[in-house]
Chains A and B, each alone.
Chain A
Amino acid sequence: MRALVWHGKEDIRCDTVTDPEIEHPRDAIIKVTSCAICGSDLHLFHNFIPAMKPGDIMGHEMMGEVVETGSEMNGSLKKGDRIVVPFTINCGDCDQCKRGNFSVCERTNRNKEMADKAFGHTTAGLFGYTHLTGGYPGGQAEYLRVPFADKTHIKVPDSLTDEQVLFLGDIFPTGWQAAAQCDIEPTDTVVVWGCGPVGQMTIRSAVLLGAKQVVAIDCIPERLSMAEAGGAITINFEHESVVERLNELTDGKGPEKCIDAVGLESHVSMGQPDTLLDRAKQVVMLESDRPHVLREMIYVCRPGGIISIPGVYGGLVDKIPMGPAMNKSLTFRMGQTHVRRWTDDLLRRIEEGQIDPSFVITHTVGLEEGPEMYKVFRDKKDSCIKVVLKP
């Protein structure tokens, strides 16, 4: 089969690889009908996430048709079923899964020992990601083996298109979780840093959860136009002061809820000296992540507020102002998305027509164009916001 394979920093190729096989009775094989390039794939593309290996198949947003199942599906899945695959693999049986904490499933990371050493305790296995999370082959491919498939799937009805449901596997529940863990009140101002695909989903989620006003921060005009279409007041940080504008919008009190949909590769600009220092430290490996957004959120957030972090961080950050964070009684909530916790509700909302997540798709291409599209997405060329691949 063909698949997009990581060969090193900025080197992704559309290779021919061997087909996946059933390895365990709880496995299933799907024929991938649609998959997408995620913002966090760019962190792998740039080799900012440790423990990738040449030969790793990329991709953790995918869906398709079940073509083969193991012997222990217990009636949950059969050939021909159409499913979206959550990027967090979950067993459904461990303590964490029973609590709904699917992204920290205790049993699905096949490199548990490595994760125990790196993180203290293991987290769930993830598709198309670092070997710290199992190194499972990803879904930017024609076929995918889904481990623990009896639990790791979202069945979707034929009445909905791939484009409407594909993002149930990652960015939609990720944006939703980011907003939901803010405990939004009707009087809240919710600020979203970053108007990439997750930021866009977060904005819509905050609207659907009843925020008084949603503010979106970015510097890319087309992304800001999409944010505005979703109901956000926009701030282009290259043209105006984020702090001043947020104070203006909140009567000087600051926003109650701040969401970081940027993560470890925040924009570097001359107007933000800390970003230059972060970039320099990152180059010489004194720091792995650039936490400008975290610093800014802590500074602007209203005392007693909530900082929600769906953006991916990979390692170590410097100069986080914990003094202000502590004194302002801020609450931090973060984590990889507990996808299955949210998807029944989100699928219902899509079916009811409350929201159609396909609004975010700007490019649809074949798998063979994937390597080029990584660069188009990275460079934000051709007004690219979200790329869907059709294997």
Chain B
Amino acid sequence: MDWQPLMLTFKLAVITTAILFVISIPIANWLSFTKSKAKPVIETLVSMPLVLPPTVLGFYMLVAFSPENAFGNWLNEWLGIRLIFSFGGLVLASVIYSLPFMVQPIQAGLSSLPSTFKEASYTMGKSKMTTLLKVLLPNVKPALLTGIVLSFAHTVGEFGVVLMIGGNMPGKTKVASIAIYDEVEALNYSAANSYSLILFSITFIILLIVYLTNGGYFKRFVQ
């Protein structure tokens, strides 16, 4: 069996999750506390990937990043970045595609904290940054974990976006979900089954760990 697609899938999922974690915290923080009129618009944009067919997202990214078009051409000429049919493009597409899975749990977590946490910290002379890092985020750990795991699992499972923008290039963009499709097309059911079984087991274990942790099952043994 060729392990490359699986390795590629997990590499993509790890990088995507790491990027999402960093960019989602400020977005979620802004969304949970802002009174701006732009909030519903931003919330809608963040949540769009939940309902939009992945192929639509993939199609527009394909058009936008194609060197045939102005923006893609500019990226290519000036920055030397080619986002279509490359791993970089996959990462960007996955980040956009999984954004709601990271932002929404963190936003919900932060909104559920009493506003006095923030206010108490401010009256103690602490900056917004210190307050976020030392008071708010440590008190929404389950939400952070949920966000990380959902984005990871969602990236592992994506198919349409990857196929549209990444194609099916072994070692570069051929992730496990596409390899399964490929093997089935070639009537190679046993290889497809191996990939599927591995993905099935790993996602099951990851989700199980989340529910065990957030449900406090581990704490009962520790304390």
Partners in one complex: no
A residues at B contact (CB < 8 Å) = none
Which B residues contact A (CB, under 8 angstroms)? none
